[in-house]
A and B are shown apart, each in its own frame.
Chain A
Amino acid sequence: MNIGKTLKLAISSILSNKMRSFLTMLGIIIGVAAVIILVSIMDGVTGQVTDTFESIGMNNLSVMVTSRGSTRAIEPEDMYALLDEHSDTFSYISPNVTLNAVIKAPTETDSDTGSVTGVDETYDEIKRLTVEQGRFLQYVDVSKMLKVCVIGTYYEQEYYGRGKALGETIRINGQPYTIVGVFEEQADSAENSSDQCLYIPYTNASKMSWNTTISSYTAYVTNTDDIDKATSIIKQKATELLGSSDNVTVIATKEILDEVSSITDTLKMALVCIAGISLLVGGIGIMNIMLVSVTERTREIGIRKSLGAKKKHIMSQFVFEAGTVSGLGGILGIVAGIIFSTVAGKLLGLSVVASPGAIVVAFSVSVAIGVIFGFLPAKNAANLNPIDALRFE
């Protein structure tokens, strides 16, 4: 008995009772589709989260010092010394002074309030920012406290028009700053997007803000594997300078992402398990129908046995049939899963791609379920006594 024959037999048996076969498959179809849809959507969500974090910068460490009236702070010089000392771990470290300022372009009558960030000349490398027109801040700008700034395309388009901002002046808290650079557009120059940004030398920003000590730094760790090491280096430095590292918080983008990923992974597993229950129910449905089918076909089994079918022949016929039912259900479920996850992706605005891994696993699991749940009915069939089976009405 070859595979092709057995498969043909199984398919003809399925086709001879289409409605029943379809209903039997339904559990498997729904289970497989649910697994694929959930895995695809979760992958889409995880992908989006990862993209967001990656745009923030996977190599970045944020250092925040909360000095509650302590006498000693962490000065930029301390950080630059640390950078020199650990140049194999850190590529760059920049102070980060963020303040809200009144921003006014000469072309406008009204002024706006916006966030201004004071950084040093390496910040574009840290955040992988690309300047499209002009240049980024330079060492002299920072050390000589020159009134220059680099702006995002939101301000460029809002105040000056495309390509017309370079060399123009913008007033920040009343002080005139010369625009020396404009960043590449990142988010359609939308308001509140990453394109609404304004960078000035941190020396100026620090002076502008009420507290003159710098409490925030952004570091670029050369190798993401060294994030933990970099964190402990900074904490150690803080202990040296402040007596304890309690007032220093170091946040690694990668760690947050790892945490988020582990949450989404857990969530994904939980959802897949719930969907998997449907596969189990589908398997029981197959077992039920196969038991009925064995009873209905008792006479057929008797005839086959009278013609010399061995247990293994009857067994393989029924196991194969169960496997084919569930495998077919699996294929239909995969098709439904791909269609629905694509639709869901469109509706949710996620890039959802049915993962080939999920498809392969879903198909194998559904075939396996058929085979496992078909085993008992098949065994019943194979163990039938030939004469009892032949006499069965």
Chain B
Amino acid sequence: MEQPLVEFSDIYKIYTMGDTEIRALDGVSFSVHKGEFLAIIGQSGSGKSTCMNIIGCLDVPTSGTYLLNGTDVSTLSDNQLAEIRNEMLGFIFQQYNLLPKLNVLDNVKLPLMYRGLKDSEQTARAMEALDRVGLRDKCRHKPSQLSGGQQQRVSIARALAGSPSVILADEPTGALDSKTSREVMDFLAELNQNGNTIILITHDNSIAATAKRVIRVHDGKIIYDGPADGDDIIRSTVLSQKEKEAAI
């Protein structure tokens, strides 16, 4: 079998606040292969973001091994981690995390700039990514001049521009209305169809339904790992939604 892109073995993340110990991740193991569309779902505070930050090499586990493309991440230097974030990972955050002082184009160019590409190539690739999210004509705008949905599309373009191995999206629709949420999710599904590996984090069951595979976490533990329609809650959510639509 092909080597997994992401492989968690018995990962713990423990925060100690005074006397109390918070187990944000409590012995988590799973792997993600190339081309998957995985949703990590769970209630607020269940440890989803912690999980994604570790996958994204932004944070380190308290214990356990994380192999990214076969490499034990704990052996890597700060610079190597920065290179991995730059080349292998594309982040989409709930709060978009665009730099407000830079225009849309410069924001999308950032990862390419840190990669050390020539300016002309940065621009070409950034424009191509903006094209894919349909915001080519807004490239000179400041983020603040765009709607929430447009800003999130810019952040998707930024994640795409570097052609990463994995796209990590932490509640990408959390700040959007349901219509724009749908658009963003459809876009992510389309990206997955084109071969991109996507790990999506959400607390919203109807959003998670878009994914092919679902991992449900609760209090830092995995309680379900399997196809999206195999999860009871998601299935019932989807069914009730269909009924509602039928009623209208």
- Chain A residues with CB under 8 Å of chain B are 1-2, 5, 12-13, 16, 299-300, 303-311, 313, 386-387, 390
The CA of A35 and the CA of B111, in the complex, are separated in Å by 44
Q: A12 touching B101 by the CB < 8 A rule?
A: yes
Q: A387 touching B59 by the CB < 8 A rule?
A: yes
Q: B115 touching A308 by the CB < 8 A rule?
A: yes
The CA of A319 and the CA of B113, in the complex, are separated in Å by 18
Given known contacts A2-B119, A387-B59, A311 and B114 CB-to-CB distance under 8 angstroms: no
The CA of A21 and the CA of B232, in the complex, are separated in Å by 58
Which of B26-34, B36-44, B82-90, B191-199 lies on the face that meets chain A? B82-90
Given known contacts A13-B101, A303-B97, A307-B86, A387 and B53 CB-to-CB distance under 8 angstroms: yes
The CA of A310 and the CA of B53, in the complex, are separated in Å by 17
Given known contacts A306-B56, A306-B91, A307-B91, A313 and B114 CB-to-CB distance under 8 angstroms: yes
Q: Collect the chain A residues with CB atoms within 8 Å of residue B85's CB.
A: 305-308, 386
When the two chains form the complex, which single residue of B82, B87, B101 contacts A305, counting CB atoms closer than 8 Å?
B82
Q: Collect the chain B residues with CB atoms within 8 Å of residue A305's CB.
A: 58, 82, 85
Q: 20 A–B contact pairs at CB < 8 A? A: A1-B113, A1-B114, A2-B119, A12-B101, A303-B98, A303-B99, A306-B56, A306-B58, A306-B85, A307-B110, A308-B85, A308-B87, A308-B114, A308-B162, A309-B82, A310-B83, A311-B79, A311-B82, A387-B59, A390-B97
Minimum CB–CB distance for A108 against chain B, Å: 84
Q: B58 touching A1 by the CB < 8 A rule?
A: no
Q: A308 touching B58 by the CB < 8 A rule?
A: no
The CA of A276 and the CA of B162, in the complex, are separated in Å by 48
Mask of B93-125 contacts with A, CB within 8 angstroms, 1/0: 000011101000000001101111001000000
- Sorted from nearest, which 9 A-B pairs have the closest CB atoms? A308-B86, A387-B59, A308-B114, A310-B82, A387-B58, A307-B111, A386-B58, A308-B85, A303-B97
Q: Collect the chain A residues with CB atoms within 8 Å of residue B82's CB.
A: 305, 308-311
Interface size on B, residues (CB 8 A): 25
Say yes or no for B203: interface residue by CB 8 A criterion: no
Identity of the chain B residue whose Cβ is nearest the Cβ of A308 in the assembled complex: B86
Q: A304 touching B110 by the CB < 8 A rule?
A: yes
Mask of B53-64 contacts with A, CB within 8 angstroms, 1/0: 100101100000
Determine which residue in A13, A303, A308, A310 has the highest number of CB atoms from chain B within 10 A of its CB, and name it.
Answer: A308
Q: Collect the chain B residues with CB atoms within 8 Å of residue A2's CB.
A: 119
Q: Collect the chain B residues with CB atoms within 8 Å of residue A390's CB.
A: 58, 97
Q: Collect the chain B residues with CB atoms within 8 Å of residue A307's CB.
A: 85-86, 91, 110-111, 114, 158
Minimum CB–CB distance for A300 against chain B, Å: 6
Identity of the chain B residue whose Cβ is nearest the Cβ of A8 in the assembled complex: B106
Q: B91 touching A300 by the CB < 8 A rule?
A: no
Say yes or no for B78: interface residue by CB 8 A criterion: yes
Q: Collect the chain B residues with CB atoms within 8 Å of residue A303's CB.
A: 97-99
The CA of A304 and the CA of B82, in the complex, are separated in Å by 10
Identity of the chain B residue whose Cβ is nearest the Cβ of A5 in the assembled complex: B113
Mask of B65-95 contacts with A, CB within 8 angstroms, 1/0: 0000000000000110011011100010000
Q: A310 touching B114 by the CB < 8 A rule?
A: yes
Minimum CB–CB distance for B153 against chain A, Å: 17
Given known contacts A1-B113, A1-B116, A310 and B79 CB-to-CB distance under 8 angstroms: yes
